[in-house]
Amino acid sequence: MTRVGTEIEMTVDDVAHGGWCVGRHHEQVVFVRHALPGERLRVRVTEQTTRFLRGEAIEVLDSSPDRVEAPCPYAGPGMCGGCDWQHASLDAQRRIKGKVVADQLSRIAGIDLDVDVEELPGTPDGLGWRTRVRFSVDEEGHAGLRRHRSHEIEPIDRCLIAHPGVSELGVTDVRWEDVKDVEAVASATRADRAIVVTPTTAKLAALPELKASSAVLRRFKGGRVQSVRGRKGVREDVAGREYRVGAGGFWQVHPAAAETLSGAVLDALEPKPGETALDLYCGAGLFTGALADAVGPQGRVMGVENGATAVRDAQYNLKDLPQVRIERADVAKQMREWADVRADVVALDPPRAGAGKEVVRKVAGMKPRRIAYVSCDPATLARDLAEFDRAGYRLAGLRAFDAFPMTHHVEFLAMLEPVRLARRHREEQD
C-alpha cells in the first residue's frame, strides 16, 4: 500500500479538472500537481483515498517541451495553492484547459466539441491581472495565501498574478491584529482601491458596530486610503457606463473580462430594440446594462439577484434606464412567480453550483429565442447543458476565455437555441 509521504516514480499521460495530471502507479490512479502530460516524475504522495492517490511532482525526470520555469517563487510543491499551471507555457495552459473542458462536456453532457480557450487582452505574460485577492492572516498577523487543499498559510511578500493596484496596497507589509482575512480590491479602470477586512470572531463579538457589515472597507482614491463602512466600493467603467461594486459584491477579476464578456453576451443573444431580456444572477448589473442599451427604451430588461449589496448597486448603476427592473430574489423563486412571463433572450451567470434543473426548466419554459449561459465551472455547465437539451434547447456555440491565467479556471459562454435552430447554427459553423 502506498502511504502519504511515500515517494514514487511514475509517468502522467492525461489532465483532469483542478490543475491535476493523471497517471497510474501499480494500477492505482494518481492525480499529480506541478506536472505536465507525458512527463516522468518523482511524486510525493499527499493524500490517499480508497479509489486514488493525490501527489505532487518533486522532481522532473523526463520533462515536457511545454515546461517553463515558474515566474513565482511561491508556486511549487508544498507552497502557495493559488496557481496551478505556472510551470506551463501560456499556450500549453490554454490547450490543457481546452482539453479538460472538452472531456467534461463529452463525459457529462455527451457533447463532442473542440474547445479553443481565448486569450484576454492586456496580460500577455499572464501576470498582474487579479484585481481582487483575498489574503488569509496567520496567528502572528502576517497576510499570506493558503497552501493547496490546506488551511496553512504560505507567507508571501508579493503575489505575481495580483494587479499592480492590489500590490500597491501593501497588504503583506502590514501586521494585522484580530483579523481573519483581508481582501484587496483594485478597480481595473479607475484609481479606486479597497481593503475589506474580516475581523476574527472574537474581535467581531467585541465590536457590535462591526456586526452589521462584518467588514471595514477602506477606499483608496487619488493616493489616499480612507475608511468607509458598509456597501460603498470601487467603481468600474464598461462600454461607457460606470458601475459601482460594493464591498464583497461580485465583479470579474481579470481587467478585460467584464468588457469581453458583456460584448460576448450581446454577440450571442443579438438583442433587438423592443425585446424583453432577462439577466439572471445579475450581480451589480453588468449584463443588464449592456442588454438595456441594446433593447432600448421600448424594450425591457429584468435582472434578478439575491445579494442585498449587489441589488442596491445594480439599481444605482442603472437608475437612468427606465426599461430596467431589478428584483431582489432567489432566481428559482422568482422564476416560479414569473410562470406567465415570456422572454425573447435570457442571460444567466450563476455561481459555481450552476443554475440547476428547476431554473433550467423555467428558463426553457419562457421560450426565448436565445440563451447565453456564462459559467466558470465546466462540470455544472455540462450538467445544465444536458438538462437544457432535455428541455428542448441545444448548444449552438461555446466560447472559453482565459480569464484566470496560471490557474486552472476558465470562463465560458454557452449560446443555446431551440433544438431546430441550434442544429442549423452548428452545421453552418462546421
Ligand X SMILES: C[S@@+](CC[C@H](N)C(=O)[O-])C[C@H]1O[C@@H](n2cnc3c(N)ncnc32)[C@H](O)[C@@H]1O
Residue nearest to ligand X (CB): 283
- Select from 153-161, 268-276, 281-289, 292-300 the region that touches ligand X (CB under 6 A): 281-289
Alpha helices by DSSP H, 182-255: 201-206, 208-211
- Contacting residue, 79, 196, 269, 282, with ligand X by CB under 6 A: 282
- Contacting residue, 150, 351, 390, 423, with ligand X by CB under 6 A: 351
- Contacting residue, 250, 338, 393, 412, with ligand X by CB under 6 A: 250
Closer CB to ligand X, 39 or 349, in the complex? 349
Closer CB to ligand X, 45 or 398, in the complex? 398
- Select from 16-24, 77-85, 144-152, 298-306 the region that touches ligand X (CB under 6 A): 298-306
Q: Specify whether the CB–CB gap between 359 and 285 falls below 8 A.
A: no
Take residue 85 and report the three cell numbers written for it.
499551471
Closest distance of CB 281 from ligand X, Å: 3
SS3 state at 96: helix
What is the rounded distance in angstroms from the CA atom of residue 180 to the CA atom of residue 364? 43
Is residue 127 at the binding interface for ligand X, with CB under 6 A as the rule? no
Phi, psi (5° rounding) for residue 412? -120, 155
Take residue 320 and report the three cell numbers written for it.
437612468
- Contacting residue, 287, 388, 401, 404, with ligand X by CB under 6 A: 287
Count of residues that interact with ligand X, criterion CB under 6 A: 18
Phi, psi (5° rounding) for residue 316? -65, -45
Closer CB to ligand X, 85 or 412, in the complex? 412
- Three-state secondary structure along 61-121? EECCCCECCCCCCCCCCCCECCCCCCCECHHHHHHHHHHHHHHHHHHHHCCCCCCCEEECC
Closer CB to ligand X, 31 or 412, in the complex? 412
Neighbours of 38 (CB within 10 A): 16
- Contacting residue, 9, 138, 330, 337, with ligand X by CB under 6 A: 330
- Contacting residue, 283, 354, 378, 405, with ligand X by CB under 6 A: 283
Buried b / exposed e over 230-260, threshold 16 CB at 10 Å, is: ebbbbbbebeebebbbbbbbbbbbbbbbbbb
What is the rounded distance in angstroms from the CA atom of residue 299 to the CA atom of residue 291? 10
- Select from 42-50, 53-61, 189-197, 276-284 the region that touches ligand X (CB under 6 A): 276-284
Is residue 290 at the binding interface for ligand X, with CB under 6 A as the rule? no
Closer CB to ligand X, 21 or 120, in the complex? 120
The secondary element (H helix, E strand) that includes residue 352 is none
Neighbours of 428 (CB within 10 A): 8
Take residue 112 and report the three cell numbers written for it.
463532442
Closest distance of CB 332 from ligand X, Å: 6
Is residue 307 at the binding interface for ligand X, with CB under 6 A as the rule? yes
Compute the chain's Rg from CA coordinates. 23
Closer CB to ligand X, 157 or 267, in the complex? 267
- Contacting residue, 331, 343, 416, 422, with ligand X by CB under 6 A: 331
The secondary element (H helix, E strand) that includes residue 47 is strand 40-48
Closer CB to ligand X, 21 or 258, in the complex? 258
What is the rounded distance in angstroms from the CA atom of residue 241 to the CA atom of residue 287? 11
Is residue 289 at the binding interface for ligand X, with CB under 6 A as the rule? no
Catalytic residue among 21, 72, 80, 376: 376
What residues contact residue 390 under an 8 Å CB cut-off, 6+ apart? none
What is the rounded distance in angstroms from the CA atom of residue 47 to the CA atom of residue 2? 10
376 counts as catalytic: yes
Is residue 284 at the binding interface for ligand X, with CB under 6 A as the rule? yes
- Select from 230-238, 275-283, 402-410, 416-424 the region that touches ligand X (CB under 6 A): 275-283
- Select from 84-92, 93-101, 154-162, 244-252 the region that touches ligand X (CB under 6 A): 244-252
What residues contact residue 251 under an 8 Å CB cut-off, 6+ apart? 131, 132, 236, 243, 245, 258, 283, 284, 286
Q: Contact residues for ligand X (CB under 6 A)?
A: 250-252, 281-284, 286-287, 304-307, 310, 330-331, 349, 351
| Catalytic annotation, residues | 376
